[in-house]
Structure 1
Amino acid sequence: MKALDSLYEAQKIAFSPFVFQTVYTMLELGIMDELYEERDGLTVTEIASRKNMTEYGVRVLVEMAKCADILELNDDKYSLSKIGYFLTRDEMTKVNLMFTQDICYKGLFHLKDAIVHGKPEGLKEIGPWETIYQGLSILPEQLRKSWFEFDHHYSDNSFGEALKIIFQHNPKHIYDIGGNTGKWAIASTKHDPSVRVSIFDLGVQLKVAKANIDAIAEIKDRVDFNERDMLNPASEIPAGADVYWMSQFLDCFSEGEIEAILLKIKKNMKPDATIFIMETFIDDQRFKAAEYSLVATSLYFTAIANGNSKMYSSSALKYIIEKAGLETVKEHRLHEDRFHTILEVKLPK
């Protein structure tokens, strides 16, 4: 890259918050949707008239968006570029953007302190908890919506293929560790009318899961709820499971904490039981956009969620599994959703 091009790229980074807030504002004001509908473009005057805005307000936004290649300008008419199209209509991009705005933006101001202190120093911008998980169910409505849409976007589409893999083992009893809102328990019990599921999670999360599952008469008698703080050294996972399921759960913990959780499971694990760990590994992504999103998400964990976890590579997690005295016997790369890998883990023979 030439020096002048590098200088330009450096300015894009220096002013990146300006561009982000420009896009967020244009989405919120409906300007991006208006331009999506008008493929031939609109003038500043036309946008201002349609959105009941001043021409000044429209102009400062569209000029920044054009400089950032989000909009194109021809014959005084602004239209969406391909980048603008994805910002307006691509589901992954919109989920990522709203998660960044509502959950991460202010908290990332405290990233340096979080790195120095090893604590989620940015979490105070959202609530007074030690980790975000303690407050998920009581977040303000817009923040809760953005958090869960982000979380579910990277898991829900994987469940169909994941169910086929897990139920090849014909489990009678599944332990869903970190069950969150109960979506996996619902999917499992609907998939197999005889399977039982035990959810293990923090109390605030179990309340949400229980409300969701109690509303479904045909499955509620096959799901039970067990309050556990997996970081409490005294907490245990009882015997009895054929399958232990952890979906996007272990990335919420440090390497040492992951090892401790695996040791809790191992302690009372039946010899023929299987642990299935589903994650979005940074080294298993086929598309640069997905890898970029995951690596950025690590900074959310650092500054806001808990201060010590990240999105891991598959090699890093397999190393922790080995340290815990367990064996990764198979890797399942899911094809339908393109993001996830499931590690199949057992006791060594």
Structure 2
Amino acid sequence: MLNYGNDNKKAVKAKLDAQKIAFAPMMFQAAKTLRDLGILNYLLKNKKGADLQTVANAIGISVYGAKVLLEAGLSMELVYVENDIYKLTKTGYFIESDELTRVNMDFTHDVNYRGSFYLSDSIKEGRPAGLEVFGNWQSIYEGLSELPEDVKKSWFDFDHYYSDVAFTEVMEILFRNDTNKILDIGGNTGKFAIKCANYNSNNQITIMDLPGQIAVAEKNIAKAGLSDRIKTLKADLLNLSVSFPKAYNIIWMSQFLDCFSKDEILSLLQRAHDALDETGSLYILETYWDRQKYKASTYSLHAISLYFTNMANGNSQMYHSSDMTKLIEKANLKVVNEYDNIGVSHTLFEIKKK
């Protein structure tokens, strides 16, 4: 049973929040401009603050430009003003200096912003209508290697930020037993496989993914000097006739199942079930919005679901953990261990056959 939130807010605060939503796209651009022009950085370095003229001169813009941006910053609480002197707030500090916030903001701006105009079409038609601003693909994964360089960079920076710390933390869990053969389903650029190979020299890893992702992974694997230990297998995982190869101790899925609908996830789990032997384990690393320690994480994950709806594929999302556990049970599998608070916001499920 789902329970979350309440309606205890006073009307004045509710109306203020409604205006924040109404003007959110414009204020987002103002915040990004304050960051990108260096205004927030200037105030960060000058703790005592500065007046409009000083800020404008330092940044090389008109006083008018500095004025409208900083006044927008007042309402966003990025800055405050005392006796005509503008100073940075804690929120302004995070917009300027926090890596997570920077990655999320760039991902929103470069990957999602233009396409977000078509969200209602995506909802009504069950397809990523916003993706058409970049190309004619059924999913963003088909066109990932062909996206404009700035868009591609923001997409990978976003993807890797969330996974990199988590990958480091799961190594000890994965290799507590005598593991030596790993099947990485949806291995993307090969980061996890390379991490495994460097962590334990006895491992043999196979990455299974779309041809475009495999091409990128193979370059990264060769650069790391690991082509003899990391193999690749090109596959369209949405093709229900594509089975998973057997004889692996571990089947690994990281930030992968959120890219699929529930029906598609069930098919992938059933194929994992068929590939597992009696002692093998399936590991799923995902970010579930109900498992978050902080409201900021839950808010972010709800927003990221809209990326999946409008830009990625039109039918997936950041799931509630019960959505996943029900599908795991339906695939005749069982969760034997759960590890929360992995990396930024992940949960690791260790799964075996029933």
SS at 2:238 equivalent: coil
Structure 2, unpaired ranges of 5+:
1-8
Q: Which whole-Å deviations, capped at 9, do the CAs of 1:72-97 have from their partners, x for residues lacking one?
A: 01121111111111111111111111
Matches within 5 A, 1:58-137: 58-137=66-145
Instruction: Give the distance between the partners of 2:321 and 2:66, measured in 1 at CA.
Output: 46
Q: Quick check: 4-13 or 288-297, which moved more?
A: 4-13
Aligned to 1:54: 62
Instruction: Give the distance between the partners of 2:173 and 2:157, measured in 1 at CA.
Output: 25
Instruction: Give the distance between the partners of 2:17 and 2:169, measured in 1 at CA.
Output: 40
SS at 1:72 equivalent: strand
1:341 aligns with 2:342: no
Instruction: Give the distance between the partners of 2:127 and 2:161, measured in 1 at CA.
Output: 27
Instruction: Give the distance between the partners of 1:30 and 1:128, measured in 2 at CA.
Output: 36
Q: Which whole-Å deviations, capped at 9, do the CAs of 1:87-141 have from their partners, x for residues lacking one?
A: 1111111111110000111111111111111110111112221100111122211
Identity, % of aligned positions: 42
* CA positional deviation for 1:171: 1.3
1:305 aligns with 2:297: no
TM-score (norm 2): 0.95
Query: Is the 8 Å Cα contact of residues 286 and 338 (structure 1) preserved in structure 2?
Result: no
Matches within 5 A, 1:180-199: 180-199=188-207
Instruction: Give the distance between the partners of 1:6 and 1:179, measured in 2 at CA.
Output: 44
1:173 aligns with 2:173: no
Query: Is the 8 Å Cα contact of residues 184 and 206 (structure 2) preserved in structure 1?
Result: yes
Instruction: Give the distance between the partners of 2:349 and 2:12, measured in 1 at CA.
Output: 46
Distance 1:163 1:334, change over 3 A: farther
Q: Which whole-Å deviations, capped at 9, do the CAs of 1:249-305 have from their partners, x for residues lacking one?
A: 000000000000111222232221110000111111111111111111001000110
Matches within 5 A, 1:251-330: 251-330=258-337
Instruction: Give the distance between the partners of 1:282 and 1:4, measured in 2 at CA.
Output: 28
- Between Structure 1 and Structure 2, how many residues are aligned? 346
1:249 aligns with 2:256: yes
Aligned to 2:3: none
Instruction: Give the distance between the partners of 1:5 and 1:315, measured in 2 at CA.
Output: 33
* CA positional deviation for 1:338: 4.6
Instruction: Give the distance between the partners of 2:85 and 2:271, measured in 1 at CA.
Output: 62
Q: Which whole-Å deviations, capped at 9, do the CAs of 1:220-252 have from their partners, x for residues lacking one?
A: 200101001110122121112110001100000
SS at 1:155 equivalent: helix
TM-score (norm 1): 0.97
Opposite residue 211 of structure 1, the aligned amino acid is K
Q: CA RMSD in A?
A: 1.2
Instruction: Give the distance between the partners of 1:29 and 1:126, measured in 2 at CA.
Output: 26
Instruction: Give the distance between the partners of 2:146 and 2:262, measured in 1 at CA.
Output: 28
Opposite residue 345 of structure 1, the aligned amino acid is I
Opposite residue 88 of structure 2, the aligned amino acid is L
Instruction: Give the distance between the partners of 1:121 and 1:307, measured in 2 at CA.
Output: 8
Instruction: Give the distance between the partners of 1:334 and 1:190, measured in 2 at CA.
Output: 24
Instruction: Give the distance between the partners of 2:320 and 2:75, measured in 1 at CA.
Output: 35
